[in-house]
């Protein structure tokens, strides 16, 4: 499959509708020997792991260990950092997202992103949903798209009577769900979340987590989180990053979540999740 530069020339993607990830199936994202440089600084070293379709993968680790850098590589958001350079492969359905013929805009349509700080557009709730969809060639029923996206983001009942109000008038938790709805509206395959709940109160956080477990039936999710209990609660696979002796971010362990938090393979993982530092 080759991703063409025109938005309309899309190969239909068959997504699994399953409540539990099929670990025997071909992974939807495969990261192979990923190295990231910022200028001459070798920030991330030799990272390899797979992401199963319709699963939630959590990336955890101390600050500065490369979790968000790796996440941003998956949909080429690091292209926006002038000094950033990537080596290795990030395969999406077997195609390297950094391939010469690959359109990064199309990559980001299929692999959407939700950020730590909710960032709805300064537009109405309705236009927050429709704007991105129309840019990507949507010509269907706008009302239906708005309702479907907001329902999937568990926000419809709270905003259905005020769709013309500004997205900025919503609470923090609602804004974040609006951002998720906006991402869903352009029908991605994968949703990347960079600490999506760290700016939210505990109740909003749990609502986002419940939403993730609903969304994973239709999407694949990769989440960076500082909250280990959150990673333990929501994810199917957890990937632990840390810094090596050269201060480079590296992957220490990638394991099923139930195993990593009860009986991790690596001592460094054990030390981190039990809080033994120093």
Partner 1 sequence: MTREAYVHELHGLRDDIVAMSSMIDKALARSVEALRQQDLRLAEDIIRADQEINRVRWDIEERALLLIATQAPMARDLRLISAIIHIATELERMGDHAAGNAKIVIETGNEPLLKPLVDIPRMSDIARSMLSDSISAFINDDADAARAIVDRDDDVDALYNQIYRELLTFMMADPTTINRATHLLWAAHNFERIADRVTNICERVVFAATGQLDELAVSNY
User: CA-to-CA distance for 55 and 270, rounded, in angstroms?
Assistant: 24
Q: Given the complex with partner 1, which of 63 and 164 has the nearer CB atom?
A: 63
Report how far apart, in Å, the C-alpha atoms of 152 and of each of 11, 79, 141 are. 24, 30, 17
Pick 247 or 265: Cβ nearer partner 1: 265
Place of tokens 């539990």: 20
Q: What secondary structure letter does DSSP report for 197? A: T
Q: Which stretch binds partner 1 (CB under 8 A): 1-9, 25-33, 58-66, 260-268?
A: 260-268
CB under 8 A: which stretch of 67-75, 141-149, 152-160, 268-276 binds partner 1?
268-276
With contacts defined by CB under 8 A, name the span among 49-57, 101-109, 154-162, 265-273 that binds partner 1. Answer: 265-273
Contact window for partner 1 (CB under 8 A) among 8-16, 66-74, 186-194, 258-266: 258-266
Q: Residue 261 interacts with partner 1 (CB under 8 A)?
A: yes
Tell me if 115 contacts partner 1 by CB under 8 A.
Answer: no
Strands (DSSP E) found in the chain:
29-38, 41-51, 56-60, 84-92, 95-96, 111-114, 190-194, 220-224, 237-243, 249-256
- Interaction mask 215-254, partner 1, x per CB under 8 A: -------------xx--x----------------------
CB atoms within 10 A of CB 192: 28
Burial 221-257 (b: 16+ CB within 10 A, else e): bbbbbebbebbbbbbbbbbbbbbeeeebbbbbbbbeb
CB of 238 to partner 1, least distance (A): 11
Sites of contact with partner 1 (CB under 8 A)? 228-229, 232, 261-264, 269-270, 273-278
């Amino acid at each position: 499959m080759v991703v063409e530069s025109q938005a309309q020339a899309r190969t239909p993607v068959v997504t699994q509708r399953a409540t539990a990830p099929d670990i025997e199936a071909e992974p939807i994202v495969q990261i192979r020997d990923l190295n990231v440089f910022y200028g001459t600084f070798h920030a991330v070293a030799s990272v390899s792991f797979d992401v199963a379709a319709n699963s939630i993968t959590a990336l955890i680790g101390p600050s500065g260990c490369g979790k968000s850098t790796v996440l941003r590589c998956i949909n080429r958001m690091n292209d926006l950092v002038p000094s950033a350079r990537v080596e290795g492969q990030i395969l999406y359905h077997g195609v390297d997202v950094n391939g010469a013929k690959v359109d990064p805009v199309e990559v980001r349509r299929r692999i959407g992103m939700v950020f730590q700080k909710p960032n709805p557009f300064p537009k109405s709730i309705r236009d927050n949903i429709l704007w991105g969809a129309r840019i990507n060639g949507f010509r269907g029923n706008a009302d239906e798209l708005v309702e479907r996206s907001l329902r999937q983001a568990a926000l419809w009942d709270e905003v259905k009577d005020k769709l013309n109000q500004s997205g900025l008038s919503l609470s923090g938790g609602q804004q974040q769900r609006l951002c998720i709805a906006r991402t869903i509206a352009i029908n991605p395959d994968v949703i990347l979340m960079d600490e999506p709940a760290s700016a939210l109160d505990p109740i909003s956080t749990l609502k986002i987590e419940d939403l993730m477990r609903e969304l994973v039936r239709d999407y694949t999710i990769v989440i960076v989180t500082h909250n280990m209990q959150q990673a333990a609660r929501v994810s199917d696979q957890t990937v632990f990053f840390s810094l090596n002796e050269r201060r480079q971010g590296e992957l220490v362990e990638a394991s099923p979540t139930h195993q990593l938090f009860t009986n991790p393979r690596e001592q460094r993982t054990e030390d981190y999740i039990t809080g033994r530092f120093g």
